[in-house]
Amino acid sequence: MRTVHIGLAGFGTVGSAVFRNLQSNAELLARRCGMRPEIVAIAAKNLSSRAGGAERAAARLLVRDLDVLVADSRVELIVELIGGCGVARRLILSSLRAGKPVVTANKALLAEHGREIFIESRRHGAPVWFEASVAGGIPLIQALREGLVANRFRLLYGIVNGTCNYILSRMTLEGAGFEEALREAQAQGFAEADPTFDIDGYDAAHKATVLASLVAGGCVNFRKVPVEGIRHITVEDIRFAQRLGYALKLLAIIRSLGPNHVEVRVHPTLIPVTNRLASIHGVTNAVMVRGSVVGDVEFSGPGAGGDATSSAVISDLMEAARHVVLQKERVKGAPLPQPPSAVGSVASRVAPAESIVSRYYLRLGVLDRPGVLARIASILGAAKIGISSVLQPEGHEGRVVPLILMTHDARHGAMLGALARIRRLPVVKSRPVVLRVETFES
């Protein structure tokens, strides 16, 4: 049976889980795939030969640096699990230039330098696999590229950051405070090294960029993706949303607007409690895809953590190994086998934030006086924003009371203009809370 030799870069939570799970499932993988994947060299910091178990075995494979890993003539493909856009980018580019296929879980790198990487991948006939970059252990990328290859994707939305979903779930179900829930998520090991990437929405936006590139068929520029995190979310707003029949989730939302043209955004979103994503709690990720042929398809599963992510990395690694074997055994001059529907290296257009249309939830702190609602309604009316419902809950003492307005569809630009006018009203006493509302009916 053919052994495929692998170079592994990075031995953190995911790298060590890949090493361990490859070893413990070696026979199963060989039986299922007819090949033996073997890690023959590892480049990693902080891998001590004194550590026990898998670490001691891995330490015997340590090489001096990333250049040695790429130059190692035994290494037929590279698995990059370092993360970030510095050395990881250089490693991937030099692997591709050496004609060595790459498996990566690096969503930040793909989102910020994807175009450069896919151009280089094409130029050198060395594919890049990236299943583990989005939604942890859910085989979502493979489904979009292969299982749903017959479809155009009209809409894709989902929960793609486990840390935020964990925090919002704890706030919703147990009334926990934001900081307390974040500390728990960090303790359980699924938050990013710098958790601001999670709570400010950047991790989800990196993943949304990767997914949007697949939906659009060409690379999306991460810098053009509007992002809003969950730092400002309070239990109070979650409770008001519940009274109105909604749950609050951090969502990535992608709509196809035509070939190489997409709307993509990440923000906290009110969704009807009847939507399936409303009952996805904890670190679980869930994504809904609306395909032109198949209709709506849902995916859910563990979105973070070493073992779950290693499952996705190993799946890619076996595909990459198959590619290596096919490539080496192909008849000279025959076309190179390519993975299906790879991301094109052309750039896709992204809809500007101001043009995006959605419904809104507004919570204002206002003086409880006659005429206040009328003044706010007239500003919204002048901006052609219709109000769909109003809630001024009883039981609030004092001069300032909460006023909650739900609107019909409005352009984001029009809403920003109206909000600027509303904030200037002397009767409005606190910064408005503004959240999008989505029903995904069309």
Catalytic (active-site) positions: 207
Would you count residue 184 as binding ligand HSE (CB under 6 A)? no
Q: By CB under 6 A, name the one of 304, 362, 366, 433 that touches ligand HSE.
A: 304
Residue 25's closest CA among 38, 44, 11?
38
Minimum gap (Å) between residue 193 Cβ and ligand HSE: 9
**Segment near ligand HSE (CB under 6 A), from 41-49, 159-167, 221-229, 314-322?**
159-167
**Segment near ligand HSE (CB under 6 A), from 48-56, 187-195, 217-225, 264-272?**
187-195
Minimum gap (Å) between residue 75 Cβ and ligand HSE: 26
User: Given the complex with ligand HSE, which of 161 and 358 has the nearer CB atom?
Assistant: 161
**H/E element, 157:** strand 153-159
Instruction: Judge whether 118 and 342 are in contact, CB under 8 Å.
Output: yes
DSSP letter string, 239-281: HHHHHTTEEEEEEEEEEEEETTEEEEEEEEEEEETTSGGGG--
Residues between 255 and 274 with contacts to ligand HSE, criterion CB under 6 A:
none
User: Given the complex with ligand HSE, which of 162 and 291 has the nearer CB atom?
Assistant: 162
Q: By CB under 6 A, name the one of 112, 131, 203, 316 that touches ligand HSE.
A: 203
Would you count residue 161 as binding ligand HSE (CB under 6 A)? yes
CA distance 390 to 377: 10
Would you count residue 80 as binding ligand HSE (CB under 6 A)? no
User: Given the complex with ligand HSE, which of 82 and 191 has the nearer CB atom?
Assistant: 191
User: Given the complex with ligand HSE, which of 137 and 217 has the nearer CB atom?
Assistant: 137
Minimum gap (Å) between residue 209 Cβ and ligand HSE: 13
CA distance 158 to 276: 10
Q: Which residues pair with 360 in a beta bridge?
A: 436
**Segment near ligand HSE (CB under 6 A), from 155-163, 214-222, 346-354, 410-418?**
155-163
Neighbours of 261 (CB within 10 A): 15
CA dihedral sign of residues 301, 306, 309, 315? negative
Q: What length does the chain have? A: 442
Would you count residue 131 as binding ligand HSE (CB under 6 A)? no
Would you count residue 225 as binding ligand HSE (CB under 6 A)? no
Residue 168's closest CA among 210, 215, 201?
201
Minimum gap (Å) between residue 206 Cβ and ligand HSE: 8
User: Given the complex with ligand HSE, which of 83 and 218 has the nearer CB atom?
Assistant: 83
Amino acid letter at 274? T
Query: How far is the CA of 42 from the CAs of 49, 317, 441, in angstroms?
Result: 13, 15, 49
Instruction: Judge whether 310 and 18 are in contact, CB under 8 Å.
Output: yes
CA distance 111 to 207: 7
Minimum gap (Å) between residue 307 Cβ and ligand HSE: 13
CA distance 303 to 161: 7
CA distance 360 to 407: 5
Q: Is 66 helix (H, G, I), strand (E, B) or coil?
A: helix
Would you count residue 252 as binding ligand HSE (CB under 6 A)? no
**H/E element, 325:** helix 306-329
User: Given the complex with ligand HSE, which of 95 and 163 has the nearer CB atom?
Assistant: 163
**Segment near ligand HSE (CB under 6 A), from 161-169, 216-224, 316-324, 372-380?**
161-169
What the block records as the tokens of 80 is: 């990059």
User: Given the complex with ligand HSE, which of 248 and 372 has the nearer CB atom?
Assistant: 248
CA distance 131 to 150: 19
Would you count residue 163 as binding ligand HSE (CB under 6 A)? yes
Minimum gap (Å) between residue 354 Cβ and ligand HSE: 29
Would you count residue 10 as binding ligand HSE (CB under 6 A)? no
Would you count residue 192 as binding ligand HSE (CB under 6 A)? yes
Under rule CB under 6 A, how many of the chain's residues touch ligand HSE?
10
- For 350-369, give one letter per residue: b (16+ CB within 10 A) or e: bbebeebebbbbbbbbbbee
User: Given the complex with ligand HSE, which of 118 and 197 has the nearer CB atom?
Assistant: 197
Tell me which residues touch ligand HSE (CB under 6 A): 161-163, 190-192, 198, 203, 303-304
